[in-house]
Amino acid sequence: MLRFLVGFFLIISVIHTEQVFANTFVFTAIPDEDESKLRSRFDKVATYLTNQLAIEVKYIPVKSYGAAVTAFRNNQVQLAWFGGLSGVRARALVSGSTAIAQGVEDPNFQTYFIAHSSTGLKKSSNFPIIIAGKTFTFGSKGSTSGRLMPEFYIRKHFSKSPNKVFSRVGFSGNHSRTISLVQSGAFQIGATNFQVWKKDLAAGKIDTSKVSVIWETPSYPDYNWTIRGDVDKNFGSGLIERVKTALLNLKDPDLLASFPRKGFIPASNADFRPIVTVGKQIGLIE
Amino acid sequence: MEKTLFSLEKTTIQYNGHAILSDISLRIEEGSKIALVGQSGAGKSTLLTQLYEASNRDVALVPQELGLVRNLSVFHNIYMGRLNRHGAFYNILNLIKPTQKELINVRPVAEKLGLADKLFAPVQELSGGQQQRTAVGRAIFKGSPVFFGDEPVSAVDEHQSHTVLSTIMKSHKTVILSMHDVKLALHYSDRVIGLKNGVKVLDESTRGMKTSDLDDLYQE
Amino acid sequence: MLAVSVISWIYADIEIITQDPWNEVMRMVTGIVTPDFLETDNLITAIVNTIAFAILGVAFGNFLGFFLALAFHIRLVRAGCAFIRAIHELFWALVFLQVFGLSALTGILALAIPYSGIFAKVYAEILEEADTTSLKTISQSTGRISIFVFVRLPDAWIHFKTYSLYRLECGLRSSAILGFVGLPTLGFHLETAFAEGKYSEASAILIIFFLIIATIRKWSHAKLVPLYIVVSLMVIPWGLSDISITNVIRFFTEDIVPHPFRVSGPIDMITFASFFAWITTLFMDQALPGIIATIILTQIALVGAGALTLIFFPLISPKFFGFFGRTLGHIFLVITRSTPEYILALIFLLLWGPSMLPAVIALALHNGAIIGHLMGRYTESMVLRPDAPKGINLYAYDILPKIYRQFLAFLFYRWEVIMRETAILGILGITTLGFYIDSAFADLRYDRAILLIIITAILNLGIDVMSRTIRARLRLRTRVDLL
């Protein structure tokens, strides 16, 4: 038995020793929707970038928005697919870092307020004041479309914090979960990312007899690819530009579905100033 | 006249208001071989402890409860007799793996006491007699000129008792043993101290003494 | 204490929120009986990582704890150990994630630091109780180290080994749980699977987890420990550990400095005024509600655990059930107590929505099963009089009165453990202190997070002291290394 175990573990160790790639370019993405298969989805993007950039590119999965920002700040990832708020936070922490690309949809992003059918609420173009006193779920605590913008509109219309407006406030963790929690009736109202709503609707995951959109926020800028400023110095000059080009040239619908976006367009730090203003206003950014 | 090693002057030990030793005075000379006899509860162990405390503790001791480290082997327990002679590093080395040098030192002691084949057995796996011999081995290995033993052969069979006791006598100049076996006591000692209810009732040379002379000690 | 618990019930937020939990229960049951081992990405890596982190964390904690135990007579060391073990490993992980990022070091330290505090305490007690009769025969001139290694250590060693094995089991549980905050262990995939309702996948991961725990005695040979450590060091993902000392320095000199001090130029009266405002807001808006919720939840869960213990222990007691019944009882208790309470809470949360109820039930079940197991074992050695009654009468008039003090002792020992778990359940969205700590980390406000963690630790220490006082007053004694 002893010998068997020794042999077994030696084999394991040989197979599983993590290879340390010198100078691997690493990226991550905020876990904003279905987390399973996150790795298989983004590994394809890593392969695409490896081919385009002719350097080793690796993806690492993270469990939260905060972890994505921390990894970027600590230079464990050099490139990240952030939300509006996490991108602003990350760029504030890493001087010299820039937003280089965003989704075609991102300059005009929206949050959908959704409600369970038992509330009897119907879609309206005015902010639904009637949701006061009901139960409400945000998405992740660090999300732009699932937290920052809905909280902004709630505070704007009620002049009170969400805790005081609703009988119960939850944080589902991500957008798909917000939809399923409202659909199951665990929460009466929720706020979710409109892209994820459309994607899940198309995929047949949403039962519209149980959950429906009751209000759409005005548009705001959201997701973006942000890269560290020291990448040129550490990985060879011109890499930032090449990463940007590779992202803008990404046309494979299979890869784009991971985000989900129709394509990528250029972005700059200045595009996200509205997010900074709103973040400061509701106290999520200091 | 030999040099006096230890002495007690009118010592009384009380426990819960009950006298265990009363008014004991005695003098132990260098080179004497003394047997403490008396019924159990007569105060033999207390007297021995009292003498041990009065010594500077550089006495080889076999207490009644033996004081062995049960998880360690016979070798290690015997080796512990000389723990003070080495530095911590050397001791730890010998704890992990006995050195050749110490094996050469310890083995003869174990052989004399009939423990050679059990040298590396943990003490807790040994019989009562074997454990007692291990404790004697540790005391002998200490190499002190004085030996105190509280019933050191009570669990050892008769044949081996002789081997053990003569080894003790040969290796130490001064010996004090508490014994319940009167025959053995008279055979190996040159002076016998008898206790009865904490009082010293007898303190004589064993020359010409018969076992029946001690019967008084064992009568109510 | 009972009074506090009763009051807690009144203020507790207990309700079933989901409209249709039975539908979800059916899906869960279906998932559990149809485990799917192939669905999860990188499952093998997660298994290897879970074991490797556990081995390294426990080994390193053991090593540190041993030396701390030697210095345990120093008051500062005792207090320091109490403090580091009052902070749950998940909170340690959240802190180290900021300092070292997603690196192997984060996982190892998150386990090793709190465990070293626990090891130190238990080892110090074991050494204290070691058989020292041999001390009498040893020459007074012997060095202290020699006396220690020959007299105290050999007797304590066996207890050390038993306890280390038990800790390894805890370590495996903790290591799996670290996945919930992003380390690449089983919890990473388990949380995803549960949250997305992929119950077949979750079932497979749980089965693997139980198998690892159940076979622990088969593979944990003392002789193999060095090999395990070496193999673990080789397989854990060091690849990302680009640990930079600047990150560490930045964390301590900038990140955790309270905001008013960080942004202030020269420190003056205004700085102190705004610091006072900062800390008051933090305390009133977050710490206080968090503390209240934590205490309420702890008390209800403690009473619940006590009640369940009284139901659970007969299930494995030969005084009440035959061989077949007891075997079923054992299986039930093994599963309930080896499932981390965090995972139990997650499951109930999916069923009943985010009130306190899931946390109460999870904590009561897990701890009830642990104490129930110990109590059941305890009744095995009891001798009954020949004309003893049977069934309910035996339970109420004979067994229960006899074991009641032991039962209380165990329950009080778990008090502090339950509180530590209560705090951590906040990460799942129940508004205990952990909720506010998790929020502070999500907002990248490490100054708040650290302060809230310290408050949590102080609360735990308070419970620890209170439990010890009560046990001393009731003269309840039991072996610590059992729990």
Report which of residues C17 and C169 the model is more confident about. Answer: C169
Q: What is the pLDDT of residue B149?
A: 92
Q: Closest chain A residue to C438 measured between Cα atoms? A: A141
Q: Find the helix or strand (DSSP H, E) in which C466 lies.
A: helix C446-473
Q: What is the pLDDT of residue B21?
A: 83
Q: Tell me the C-alpha distance between A186 and C176, whole Å.
A: 28
Return the CA Rg of chain B: 18
User: What CA–CA distances, in Å, run from C120 to B45, B97, B147, C62, C63?
Assistant: 39, 27, 40, 8, 9
Among B159-168, C17-26, C369-378, which is the least confidently predicted range? C17-26
Across the interface, whether the CB atoms of C240 and A60 are under 8 A apart is answered yes
- Beta-bridge mates of residue B19: B14
As a whole number, the mean pLDDT across chain B is 88
Q: Closest chain C residue to B70 measured between Cα atoms? A: C155
Report which of residues A260 and C454 the model is more confident about. Answer: C454
Kindly state whether B95 is in contact with chain C, defined as any CB-CB distance less than 8 angstroms.
Answer: yes
| Overall average pLDDT of the A208-212 stretch | 93
Q: Under CATH, to which class is C1-21+262-483 assigned?
A: mainly alpha
Using the predicted structure, report yes or no on whether residue A200 has a pLDDT greater than 70.
Answer: yes
Q: What is the pLDDT of residue C483?
A: 45
Across the interface, whether the CB atoms of A9 and C231 are under 8 A apart is answered yes
Q: What one-letter code names the amino acid at C239?
A: G
Using the predicted structure, report yes or no on whether residue A193 has a pLDDT greater than 70.
Answer: yes
Write down all domains in chain A, each with its CATH number in brackets.
Answer: 21-106+221-281 (3.40.190.10), 110-216 (3.40.190.10)
For residue A36, give the nearest of C179, C198, C353 by CB distance. C198
pLDDT digits (tens, 9 = 90+) for A2-32: 666 666 666 666 655 554 455 789 999 998 8
Across the interface, whether the CB atoms of C18 and A286 are under 8 A apart is answered no
Report the percent of chain B where pLDDT is more than 90: 44
Q: What are phi and psi of B14, to 5 degrees?
A: -115, 150
Q: What is the pLDDT of residue B113?
A: 92
Query: How many C-beta atoms surround the C-beta of residue B137 within 10 A?
Result: 26
B174-178 vs B33-37, strand pairing mode? parallel
pLDDT digits (tens, 9 = 90+) for B26-38: 888 888 999 999 8
Across the interface, whether the CB atoms of B62 and C140 are under 8 A apart is answered no
Q: What is the pLDDT of residue A12?
A: 64
| Token pair belonging to B57 | 């503790």
CATH topology assigned to domain C35-134+144-255: MetI-like fold (1.10.3720)
| Overall average pLDDT of the A168-192 stretch | 89
Q: Tell me the C-alpha distance between B217 and B41, whole Å.
A: 12
Q: Which residues of chain C are within 8 Å of residue B150 when distances are taken between CB atoms?
A: none
Report which of residues C362 and B7 the model is more confident about. Answer: C362
| Overall average pLDDT of the C167-185 stretch | 91
Q: Tell me the C-alpha distance between A79 and B132, whole Å.
A: 74
pLDDT band at residue C226, thresholds of 50, 70 and 90?
confident
Using the predicted structure, report yes or no on whether residue C12 has a pLDDT greater than 80.
Answer: no
Q: What is the pLDDT of residue C482?
A: 47
Q: How far is C398 from chain B (nearest CA, A)?
A: 37
Q: How far is C143 from chain B (nearest CA, A)?
A: 6
pLDDT band at residue C481, thresholds of 50, 70 and 90?
very low
Report the percent of chain C where pLDDT is more than 70: 93
- CA dihedral (C439, C442, C446, C447) in degrees, to 10, reads -40
- Chain B interface test: which of C150, C153, C161 (most B C-beta within 10 Å): C150
Among B59-63, B68-72, C101-105, C294-298, which is the least confidently predicted range? C101-105
Q: What is the pLDDT of residue A20?
A: 47
Is residue B40 helix, strand or coil? coil
Residues of C with CB under 8 A from a CB of B: 131, 133-143, 145-147, 149-151, 154-155, 157-158
Using the predicted structure, report yes or no on whether residue C194 has a pLDDT greater than 70.
Answer: yes
Q: How far is A171 from chain C (nearest CA, A)?
A: 7
Q: Tell me the C-alpha distance between C285 and C448, whole Å.
A: 12
Using the predicted structure, report yes or no on whether residue C8 has a pLDDT greater than 80.
Answer: no
Report which of residues B1 and B54 the model is more confident about. Answer: B54
For residue C158, give the nearest of B65, B71, B80 by CB distance. B71
As a whole number, the mean pLDDT across chain C is 86
Q: What one-letter code names the amino acid at C427?
A: I
| Overall average pLDDT of the C73-93 stretch | 93
Residues 250-269 on A with a CB inside 8 Å of C are none
Write down all domains in chain B, each with its CATH number in brackets.
Answer: 31-59+145-220 (3.40.50.300), 69-143 (no CATH)
Residues 20-59 on A with a CB inside 8 Å of C are 20-21, 24, 26, 34-37, 39-40
Q: Tell me the C-alpha distance between A180 and A30, whole Å.
A: 19
Q: Per-domain residue ranges for chain C?
A: 1-21+262-483, 35-134+144-255
Most confident region among A15-29, C136-150, C163-177, C194-208 by mean pLDDT? C163-177
Among C83-87, C203-207, C287-291, C354-358, which is the least confidently predicted range? C354-358
Is residue A237 helix, strand or coil? coil
Question: Does the structure's ipTM exceed the value 0.90?
Answer: no
Alpha helices in chain A (DSSP H): 2-16, 38-53, 65-73, 84-93, 149-158, 162-165, 175-184, 194-202, 231-235, 239-248, 253-256, 273-281
Residue that is written with structure tokens 């007797």 in the block: C155
Q: How far is C20 from chain A (nearest CA, A)?
A: 7
| Overall average pLDDT of the B73-78 stretch | 94
Across the interface, whether the CB atoms of C442 and A66 are under 8 A apart is answered yes
Q: What is the pLDDT of residue C4?
A: 64
Q: What is the pLDDT of residue A154?
A: 95
pLDDT digits (tens, 9 = 90+) for C376-404: 888 887 777 777 777 788 887 888 888 88
Asked whether the beta carbons of C231 and C52 are under 8 A apart, the reply is yes
pLDDT band at residue C14, thresholds of 50, 70 and 90?
low
Using the predicted structure, report yes or no on whether residue B209 has a pLDDT greater than 80.
Answer: yes
pLDDT digits (tens, 9 = 90+) for B105-149: 999 999 999 999 999 999 999 999 999 999 999 999 998 999 999
pLDDT digits (tens, 9 = 90+) for A129-179: 999 999 999 998 889 999 999 999 999 999 999 989 999 898 988 888 899
Q: Which residues of chain B are within 8 Å of residue C145 when distances are taken between CB atoms?
A: 88, 91-92
Report which of residues C410 and B76 the model is more confident about. Answer: B76
Nearest CA to A103 out of A269, A216, A247, A275 is that of: A247
Maximum distance among all Cα pairs of chain A, rounded to whole angstroms: 73
Kindly state whether B87 is in contact with chain C, defined as any CB-CB distance less than 8 angstroms.
Answer: yes
Most confident region among C11-25, C76-90, C93-107 by mean pLDDT? C76-90
Kindly state whether C328 is in contact with chain A, defined as any CB-CB distance less than 8 angstroms.
Answer: no
**How many contacts (CB atoms, under 8 Å) link A and C?**
139
Per CATH, C1-21+262-483 and C35-134+144-255 having the same topology is answered yes
Is residue C280 helix, strand or coil? helix
Q: Determine the angle formed by the axes of helices A84-93 and A65-73, rounding to 10 degrees.
A: 30
Report which of residues B21 and B151 the model is more confident about. Answer: B151
Using the predicted structure, report yes or no on whether residue A35 has a pLDDT greater than 90.
Answer: no
Q: What one-letter code names the amino acid at C75?
A: R
Q: Closest chain B residue to C157 measured between Cα atoms? A: B71
